[in-house]
Structure 1
Amino acid sequence: MAAATPKGQARRQLLAEAAGALLMKHGPDAVRHRAVAELAGLPLASTTYYFSSLTDLLAAAVERTCEIDAQEMTERCAALPAQSRDARDTAAALARVFVGEEPVSSQLAARYELFVLAARHPEFAEMISHRQDRVSEIAAEVLDKSRRHSAPAGVHKLIALENGALLESLAADGQTHGDPVSAVADAVVDVVDVLAPALPQMVGSSGN
């Protein structure tokens, strides 16, 4: 049901935020009416009042998760200085923006649970696709700031490598306690110059 009043909109937002928090911390199976209501501090009946079904509630959690993840990456990218970077520094910049300085494993794992949800629930696919488009835009901006080519094909391949390295790091983290930022940087450093070559230096440019 639509939240027509400001109070209703505020309650619906609280529930969506709670659903997103549960998804990011515990995965999609944790998004249940009672758990969402308890975390939001609202009556159980409010979840069925503002969300017509559990799928509708889960959709709000997916949307909220995508928003937070993209916003955090956007902020990290905005804080990145624009300067020429060699392959190693470019790989490190991509990894820091993609993963974060102090990554939370459960939040990172939620990214990949979203892919599975999209496969099982086609109604979520558009949200996940939009999130992926935003990630591509952010990665392209990192490359632009690093004075490198940012062609879509190269960006797509770099992101695929980042996803694979991060997922492997998350799967092994319980045994190796590895650094996901380093894992992602190591995965792309050898191909950065191929997929995102440095732009020609302007005559008289200092490179900064």
Structure 2
Amino acid sequence: MGATPKGELRRAAIVRAAADLVAAGGPDAVSHRTAAAAAGVPLAATTYYFRDLADLLAAALETLGTRELDEVAALVGALPRRRRSAAATAGLVADVVVGPGRRTDADLLAYYERFLATGRHPAVRPVLAATRRRLDALVQEVLDRSGRGGPPLARLVAVFDGTVLSALVEGPGRAREEAEAAVGELLADTGVPHSLPPPA
């Protein structure tokens, strides 16, 4: 028997609340209790609509990923096609990989914790893998629209991710700036300019 409209609304409210908790504090901020409190529903509702915490997290991460990807896709879609410097392109890569509004170390830590959660919650891995594939495609679009070529995409993203994580360990407070600088250096060293494609 399918869920009632009221039930669907309640489930959606729980997912949105859990997504907001992940965005603010990472996956460890989510429990049945915190999601129920944030959604304003009884605790029993979370165990009714979700098999376990991993099921709730997967739904929350899918919702959060879609929300963030839609924002980034709109940003990239509005990007004029013109040749940009390595530094300017690196800033746009950062906007795609972690989001334009995620600049503090606390924000970045909460963001990367969602990917580290795959070790504790394997059920969320397919959701996060799908999100990263869409992000990779958007990074490539930034490079194309900026007239930048050269480094393999996987290497470019790995340099950004690795620099952020190292900087978060070493501190203080410049993880995004250091990652942008590392990507900018990579683009300057190996990012051979190529012809800009005509506008779609």
| TM over 0.5, shorter chain | yes
Superposed displacement of residue 38, structure 1: 1.0
Q: Against the structure 1 CA distance between its residues 71 and 168, is the aligned structure 2 distance closer, same or farther, given a 3 Å change threshold? A: farther
Partners of 1:18 and 1:36 within 8 A in 2 = yes
Q: Structure 2 CA distance, aligned partners of 1:21 and 1:95?
A: 21
Matching of residues 181-192 of structure 1 within 5 Å: 182-192=177-187
Coordinate RMSD, CA, aligned:
2.7
TM-score normalised by structure 1 residue count:
0.81
The amino acid across from 1:168 in the alignment is: S
Give the corresponding residue for 2:143.
143
Matching of residues 96-175 of structure 1 within 5 Å: 96-103=95-102, 105=104, 106-149=106-149, 154-173=152-171
Q: Identity over the aligned pairs, expressed in percent?
A: 36
Superposed displacement of residue 143, structure 1: 0.6
Give the corresponding residue for 1:177.
173
Partners of 1:154 and 1:195 within 8 A in 2 = no
Q: Against the structure 1 CA distance between its residues 201 and 15, is the aligned structure 2 distance closer, same or farther, given a 3 Å change threshold? A: closer
Q: Given the alignment of the two structures, is residue 4 of structure 1 paired with residue 3 of structure 2, yes or no?
A: yes
The amino acid across from 1:115 in the alignment is: F
Q: Against the structure 1 CA distance between its residues 191 and 74, is the aligned structure 2 distance closer, same or farther, given a 3 Å change threshold? A: same
Partners of 1:76 and 1:100 within 8 A in 2 = no
Deviation sequence 1:148-185 (CA, Å, 0-9, x none)? 337xx711111111112222344455xx33262x3222
Deviation sequence 1:164-208 (CA, Å, 0-9, x none)? 2222344455xx33262x322201112214554211479xx9xxx
Q: Structure 2 CA distance, aligned partners of 1:143 and 1:86?
A: 11
Partners of 1:92 and 1:185 within 8 A in 2 = yes
Indicate which of 185, 198, 207 corresponds to 2:193. Answer: 198
Unaligned runs of 5+ in 2: none
Q: Against the structure 1 CA distance between its residues 99 and 145, is the aligned structure 2 distance closer, same or farther, given a 3 Å change threshold? A: same
